[in-house]
Amino acid sequence: MDISKQRITSFQRENLSFDVIDTGTLDGQIFVLLHGFPETNKSWQETSEILNQAGYRTLAVNQRGYSLGAQPQKRCDYRGSALLEDINTLLDLIGQPVYLVGHDWGAVVAWDVAQHYPKKIKHLITVSVPHKAAFMQAMLKSNQLFKSYYMGLFQLPKIPELLFEKFPKIGLGLLKNSGMTQQQLDNFKKEMVDEKRLTFALNWYRGLPFSSNRNLLKPITVPTLFIWGKHDSAVGAKSVALNHRFVKAPYKEIIMDATHWIPVQNAKELSAYILEAVA
């Protein structure tokens, strides 16, 4: 497949079909954009437009559970290795090294891809969530475990769905307290609740017990830009401070005056930092 001559609107892995928003000049250098919870690939719209204007092509992926054609039922189907190989399948289809950008859970996947398949990545850009080893070490050395209480809550059966679907004041209150705007809350209700993505998105948390940390301390060997908002309610400063230890390549860290939701709320600044890093 010559991807410089046609759009990638979807790709398949096993019996699953993943949606892609492919924009920008067809022969431009490629950014692959990975969203987090609880957002879809539409969260990259403004960032994509800016990168496209700069001459780059962007492929924003709806990941496992978020693509309506890729919603397996079992918790173990959402283990880290499955999420990793979904994106590796896309990279194989692209057939050339890419700039890989991930936010929130998308950052977790992006770190894993860079760790396992460094030759497929020109530059890694992770937003809000640091390297898994830095995050886990911070749980032992700071208030990160307290900040991550929701990760335990979201692994419970049915209760998170009840909070968001039957008691929205409570569920949406959690998201609002994290810094989400009313427009983001409206998007969440439409995309996650009304369009039946919520349980499958929560399965990313429920799949954690099935994920391996065998390569936890393996360093990243590709150039890396990490961006974090100092008002992030989910990720504390300690894991950010530890992050550089796990990158054995050119590394730059930017701390923004922002919440956790940088791709939607700070797209212009984020895009400028990304373009500067890859120039």
Is 104 a catalytic site residue? yes
> Which residue is catalytic, options 22, 205, 232, 273?
205
Q: Give the integer Cα–Cα distance in Å for 21 and 57.
A: 10
Residue 157 has phi, psi (to 5 degrees) of -75, 135
Q: What sign has the CA pseudo-torsion 72, 260, 274, 7?
A: positive
> Are residues 117 and 213 in contact, defined by beta-carbon separation less than 8 angstroms?
no
> Which residue is catalytic, options 22, 77, 104, 112?
104
Q: Give the integer Cα–Cα distance in Å for 115 and 219.
A: 7
Is 205 a catalytic site residue? yes
Report cis status (omega within 30 of 0) of the bond before 160.
no
> Are residues 148 and 252 in contact, defined by beta-carbon separation less than 8 angstroms?
no
Q: Compute how many other C-beta atoms are within 10 angstroms of the C-beta atom of residue 244.
A: 16
Is 231 a catalytic site residue? no
> Are residues 32 and 62 in contact, defined by beta-carbon separation less than 8 angstroms?
no
In the 8-state DSSP scheme, what is residue 219? P
Retrieve residue 35's tokens.
Answer: 């969203």
Query: Which of the residues are catalytic?
Result: 104, 205, 260
